Amino acid sequence: MEVLKDRVAIVTGAGQGVGRGIAMALAAEGARVAVTGRTVSKCESVVKEIEARGGEAIAIRCDVQSRDDVDATVTATVLHWGRIDILVNNAQILFYKTVRNLTEEDLDSMWQSGPVATLRFQQAAFPHLRETKGVIVNMGSGSSILPQPMFGGYAMAKEAIRVLTRVTAVEWGKFGIRVNAVCPLAVTSAWHEFSDATGAENQVLSQIPLGRMGDSEADIGRGVVYLCGTDGSYITGTTLMVDGGFNYLR
């Protein structure tokens, strides 16, 4: 049974990596997915993958740092399908830099693409999520829970997203809107960039209790499906660690 049949989802940063995996997993459970990102060709490729599996999706170019783009994405989704049930805030610019080398421009870019963008989308989608008693899933990071070198600015942005998640859950619960965060650990292009730059792949793998990196669709995407479906209907304001035990069990 498709647990998300006929529900409409927006996934930001869905042209690759974790965002793609989440979009694919939602579509596999019957959701109609607006695949959004700055590079529309990548989004179109994901749409084709979803359609090849029998799902339904559209590609929308969206720079989450632009309020106009965010508003236009919400409007386009509603015009196409008439509703919004699920919002997944996944997009995030990332710089690997030490605290000494982190610039204000770096931090502003991560802040605007992360917590501020999450706020923008939550506000823009609110009237529609209120109508459907919808679900928001915001992507956090274990790097804000267990600090790691070179993640200072990124961890700041991601922890702000988790705080926003909890406050929104408290404020919007009376409208029937659930809001949760997910901290993922999965093989992505960003993971390869980090491991290539630091040589930390074997070290990280040795510290994951389950002994492997996650899969963006089968692991992270399915975790999001759980939070969005009826099985997660009494869960709000929490953080789901989908990381093989990497952060909480070390």
Residue numbers annotated as active site? 154
Better-scored residue on pLDDT, 204 or 189: 204
Mean pLDDT of the chain: 94
Q: What is the pLDDT of residue 197?
A: 63
120 has a pLDDT exceeding 70:
yes
Provide the pLDDT confidence category of residue 199 given band limits of 50, 70 and 90.
low
Helix 152-172 crosses helix 104-113 at what angle (to 10 degrees)? 30
Residue 189 has pLDDT above 80, yes or no: no
Confidence of residue 196 (pLDDT cuts 50, 70, 90): low
- DSSP for 121-182, please give it: HHHHHHHHHHHHT-EEEEE--GGGTS--TTBHHHHHHHHHHHHHHHHHHHHHGGGT-EEEEE
The pLDDT assigned to 103 comes to 97
Q: For the chain, give the percent of residues with pLDDT over 90.
A: 84
DSSP class of residue 216 equals I
Q: Which of 117-121, 124-128, 173-177, 192-196 has the lowest mean pLDDT?
A: 192-196
Largest interatomic CA distance in the chain: 52
Per-residue model confidence (pLDDT) at position 250: 58
pLDDT at residue 192 greater than cutoff 70: no
Q: Which CATH superfamily is domain 8-242 in?
A: NAD(P)-binding Rossmann-like Domain (3.40.50.720)
Question: Model confidence at 200, in pLDDT bands (50, 70, 90)?
Answer: low
Predicted confidence band at 147 (pLDDT cuts at 50, 70, 90)? confident
Residue 71: is its pLDDT beyond 80? yes
Q: For 210-224, what is the mean pLDDT?
A: 96
Residue 131: is its pLDDT beyond 70? yes
**Of 49-58, 188-197, 226-235, which gets the smallest average pLDDT?**
188-197
- Mean per-residue pLDDT, 154-161: 97
Query: What is the predicted pLDDT for the residue at 243?
Result: 94
pLDDT surpassing 80 at residue 222: yes
How sure is the predictor about 206, in pLDDT bands with cuts at 50, 70 and 90?
confident
Would you list the domain boundaries of the chain?
A: 8-242
Nearest partner of 180 among 226, 146, 143, 124, judged by Cα = 226
